[in-house]
Amino acid sequence: MLNSNRLLHEKSPYLHQHANNPVDWFPWGEEAFEKARREDKPVFLSIGYSTCHWCHVMERESFSDSRMADLLNNHFISVKVDREERPDVDAVYMTVCQALTGAGGWPLTILMTPEKKPFYAGTYLPPEEMARLIVHMDEVWNNSRAELLEIGEQIQRYINRSTAAESELLPEREQIPPLDGDTVMRAMEIFGTHYDEKYGGFGSAPKFPSPHNLLFMLEYDRISGSKSAEIMVKSTLSSMYRGGIFDHVAGGFSRYSTDEKWLVPHFEKMLYDNAMLAWTYLKAYEMYGTGFYKTAAQKIFSWAFAEIYNPDGAFYCGQDADSDGVEGRYYLFDYDEFERILGGENAERYRKYYGVTKKGDYEGKNILNLIRNAKFADDSPQSEQSRFIGECNQLVYQYRRDRFALHTDTKILTAWNSLMIIALVKAYEVLGDESYLEAAKKNEKFILDNLSFAGRLYVRWCDGEVFGNGKLDDYANYSLALLHLYDATSDRTYLEKAFYYADVMVQRFFDRDSLNGGFFIYADDDEQLISRPKEIYDGALPSGNSTAFMVLDLLRRRSGDPKWHELYKRQSRFVASYAGNYPTGCAFSLITVLRDSAQRSCKGGKCD
């Protein structure tokens, strides 16, 4: 008979994946911490998400093991958090992990006091290492607790100093360097230094698409006519599309590539990546007219509507990397499988097009890719070759779906769906297809009807239930989506809603006590954690502060209201205080800087 724990009553697919563990899991909440205080035990916090490969590995190896569960249940109070439901908890403790170890990732493992003060941080732990850690920390907790409490105090002081830096430690007003062309140029120079001339992208493996960086370079090229920006963007977009990180059968991009050639992906697909990549490929198609940029965006949408779409109008979080416990199994093919799917000559032609060999290119299997196909871009969508490949892909797609199953995380997130609205609006503007605009409007209506109550936003909807007070990303991304819808439709209802939700964002998240401004990641009336950070540097997504910066700029231009102009100036100071040291980490913010600079340099009302 299966065990069950408190997670059985949660809606999160990630928490449900642990509902039958022998570990006595608690969801994040006061019940867990009160029990820890009452029983005088430390807290074992595990943070992850349902499509995370290494989260699955740790669940199988450790959390399903009765001996490991006994260790945890006897010595700790165990708390499980879905990072996509509680991005605030994840952000605070990921900062701790990065400060202590210099790195981060999921699953995130934190040991802390009942007062939520951490004294250990790590990521994936093999079973033997985890068992040793539990036994050791239990011994220290019972015999040398003062050491752990002091570590917890030191960590909290450190992260609070870091989050207070903009109000206490940053330079005085006149000393902060302005956000101007010099900052933009330094960002471009740094990107140029790290650019991979052979395979596109930046840095070495693993390689992430980071579409917000490409959007910055596209905007820089649009305004300045930069040949270097054009080269870097075109090479990167081409290499990503040709590689295995792109699903050539059904569309959509995996989260990152494990190698420099973009061949072997980490196979999970996420909504946020694909929304941002569709936006990027569409903007590139608008600027350069390269045909496969359009194809890439269209295939992202076709995958999203086929695989992660809720018929009521919104999109789910994403799809797993694993099938039957094996990473990438859904996407990999043996050489001979195509004989069964397509038949003799068709199979050979298809294999040649996608670089399929008997040896394979990943653990004896094949990842479909165009890396060695130099002529793929020569085929127009109407060509016989394109029709042939399209028909074959339909057969391969159906075979693949019947062969293995993929887990889909069925949460609907306000922040990520807002990015998809922007991508769909961009598709309408660039391609002229009304169906994309209708989908964007339906998506926005879903958010308004299901994730907004009493004028406030919520983080997620799942199976008819909303959860979590909206965070900065929710308000900033949704406001930006509304502004895009207004620009596409001229419907003032969208503009009025943008002003309203941006105003809530300012009232609840903006640091009014700091000369340098900035937005906190969670609201003043939300649960207060051990720190209340302001994230400025872009990660896998643009930071909430960078998106809020763009929103403030657009609102001040549309309203002429001095209130929005003053907020924009203060937010500009906040961005400047960080962008000067790390401009490439603020690339999405620098799009707003570029537009502001171009606007001010316009003559005769001919600005765009």
Q: Does 456 have pLDDT greater than 80?
A: yes
Give the position of tokens 């579409």. 211
Tens of pLDDT, residue by residue over 255-286, are 999 999 999 999 999 999 999 999 999 999 99
pLDDT score for 228:
95
Identify the pLDDT of residue 180: 76
Which pLDDT value is given to residue 379?
Answer: 73
Residue 166 pLDDT class (50, 70, 90 cuts): very low
Is residue 502 helix, strand or coil? Answer: helix
Bridge partners, residue 101, by sequence: none
Q: Per-residue pLDDT averaged across 563-587, rounded? A: 94
| Model confidence pLDDT, tens digit, residues 73-94 | 999 999 999 999 999 999 999 9
Question: Which residues are CB-contacts of 439 (< 8 A; sequence separation ≥ 6)?
Answer: 305, 313, 424
- Quote the CA–CA distance of 523 and 191 in Å, as a whole number: 34
Q: What is the pLDDT of residue 179?
A: 77
Q: Which residue, 498, 579, 596, is CA-closest to 543?
A: 579
Res 212: pLDDT: 98
Q: Is the pLDDT of residue 151 over 50?
A: yes
How confident is the model over 440-448, as a mean pLDDT? 98
Do 261 and 240 form a contact (C-beta atoms < 8 A)? no
Secondary structure (H, E, C), 270-339:
EHHHHHHHHHHHHHHHHHHCCHHHHHHHHHHHHHHHHHCECCCCCECCEECCEECCEECHHHCECCCHHH
| Nearest CA among 135, 170, 105, 128 for reference residue 44 | 135
Whats the size of the chain, residue-wise?
A: 608
Q: In this predicted structure, what is the pLDDT of residue 158?
A: 86
Question: Comparing C-alpha atoms, which of 136, 176, 210 is closest to residue 578?
Answer: 176
Q: What percent of the chain has pLDDT over 70?
A: 95
Of residues 100 and 507, the one with the higher pLDDT is: 507
Task: Give the Cα-Cα-Cα angle 13, 62, 99 (nearest 5 degrees).
Answer: 80
pLDDT of residue 176: 60
Q: Which two tokens stand for residue 150?
A: 């002091």
CA distance 17 to 59: 8
Q: What is the mean pLDDT of the chain?
A: 93
pLDDT confidence of residue 536? 93
pLDDT at 168: 44
Output the pLDDT for position 172: 46
pLDDT classification of 207: cutoffs 50, 70, 90: very high
pLDDT of 1: 35
